[in-house]
Amino acid sequence: MKDYIQISIHPVNQEQSEILVAQLSEMGFEGFEEQEKGLNAFIEKDQLEEGTLTQIISLHQLEYTRQLIPAQNWNQIWEKNFQPISVDDFCGIRAAFHPHMNGVQYDIIITPKMSFGTGHHVTTYLMIQAMRRVELQGKRVLDFGTGTGLLAILAEKMGAAHVLAIDHDEWSIQNARENLVCNDCLAVTIKKKDSLEDIGVFDLILANINKSVIINSLKNLSQHLKQDGVVLLSGLLSEDLQEIQQELVSCPLSISLCVEQKNWICLRLQHG
């Protein structure tokens, strides 16, 4: 367990908040708490680069305060702010201390810790909506940057025969494993990995991560995708679309669908 730094930025409008989440994710911030007129962001104490943070905040002509969050207090803080969420009538996400969610096809329990992927952020919401359009019965799925394991859990519930969920962060790995147990998952394998080496090929690849990782991984992802497979990407702002398109010029993948919500986009890629 490690100490974290909470950065509080106030006041922040919706557009600024969305851009800051993307920029701070690139810096290694792992958790975000969007408030009515502000944004809290969380990063491991040893990972904070104060100079880079100050530069980003100054570009937006904003100011911030910082607070040390001791490791033993983190779960209590996160739990206090965790509320159930539903993605249409398709998927409900809740903590174990919330009642069962009626009126949704899949009811998923996520332990509210700092790992990214509780469904509350627009990118996770868009990924879940996109997964609804993919037939997963008996399929092989890769969840690249699994965070809480939410998308991997959903993939199994949708009928996937095998799901490989990978992440480079030990905290996320531990959290994802806890969530697999909470949801009685048997078809998901969790591995700590920071590369795509030796993982096989898949019918569906999920990657809800940041732009730089996506751009650096596009060609590699295509090599691990079956010829008729699908890649779903998010963690991208609408302004990132042109850069992604440029990268795809030299990649055997093309965009078959782009969905935008609150300045965030989710892309569906396929061969050809």
Residue numbers of the domain that contains 201: 117-271
CB within 8 A of 80, min separation 6: which ones? none
Alpha-carbon distance 257 to 243, whole Å? 16
Question: For 203, phi and psi rounded to 5 degrees?
Answer: -80, -30
Residue 208, exposed/middle/buried by CB under 10 A (0-12, 13-18, 19+)? buried
Residues 138 and 227 in one domain: yes
Distance CA 181, CA 197 (A): 27
Is residue 84 a part of any domain in this protein? no
Same domain, 72 and 143: no
**What pLDDT does 166 receive?**
97
| 193 in the same domain as 67 | no
Number of domains observed in the structure of the chain: 2
Question: Which of 45-54, 110-119, 205-214 shows the lowest mean pLDDT across its residues?
Answer: 110-119
Q: Across the strands, what pairs with 109? A: 94
Boundary residue ending a domain (30, 62, 79): 79
> What is the reported pLDDT for 128?
97
* Secondary structure element (H or E) that encloses residue 180, with its range: helix 170-182
pLDDT tens sequence across 39-79: 989 898 999 999 999 999 999 999 999 999 887 666 666 66
Say if residues 3 and 42 touch (Cβ distance below 8 Å): no
Task: With both helix axes pointing from N to C terminus, report the angle between 211-223 and 241-248 in degrees, rounded to the nearest 10.
Answer: 30
What CATH number is given to the structural domain containing 160?
A: 3.40.50.150
- Between 163 and 119, whose confidence is greater? 163
Would 61 be classed as within a structural domain? yes
Q: What integer pLDDT is reported at residue 77 of this predicted model?
A: 64
Q: What is the mean pLDDT of the chain?
A: 90
List the 162-167 sheet strands across, edge first: 188-192, 162-167, 140-144, 202-208, 225-237, 264-271, 253-261
Tell me the backbone φ, ψ of residue 230, rounded to 5 degrees.
-130, 140
32: domain CATH number is: 3.30.70.340
pLDDT of 81: 65
Percent share of the chain, pLDDT over 90: 63
Estimate to the nearest angstrom the gap between the alpha carbon of 209 and the chain centroid. 5
Give the model's pLDDT for residue 114: 56
pLDDT at 72: 62
How high is the pLDDT of residue 62?
A: 93
Lowest mean pLDDT among 24-38, 52-66, 98-112: 24-38
Structure tokens at 251: 């990649």
Residue 232 has pLDDT above 90, yes or no: yes
pLDDT of residue 33: 78
